[in-house]
Amino acid sequence: MTRLFNTKGWSVLGAVLVLFAAIIASAVTASHRPSASAAMAPAGRASSELDRCRSLGADAAKDAGCQAAWRLLRDHFLGLDKTGARL
């Protein structure tokens, strides 16, 4: 009677199972992370202001409201408070 798996067969099966477990673990971990855009999105009013600036196109560079919204977004991204100090 021949053996179903020899040593090489068991090794290949073990490698496939480890690879499968790694893929499942990666998928589960990725599904629990918040997206980068959600983590960096400014709150409420600033978001609508950024949408307005986006619709202005090149004219947004001269708009004071857009400059303030971009400053707020930059400070949020860099982790700065209103005084410019790190949070």
Reported pTM:
0.44
pLDDT in tens, the chain (87 residues): 456 678 888 899 999 999 999 999 988 887 776 555 555 555 566 778 888 899 999 998 999 989 988 888 888 888 887 666 766
Tokens matching residue 51: 């949408």
| CA 7, chain centre distance (Å) | 43
Angle at 87 between CA 39 and CA 37, to 5 degrees: 10
Tokens matching residue 45: 């009013």
Tokens matching residue 14: 């073990």
Cα separation, 40 vs 31, whole angstroms: 18
Residue reference for tokens 């001269």: 62
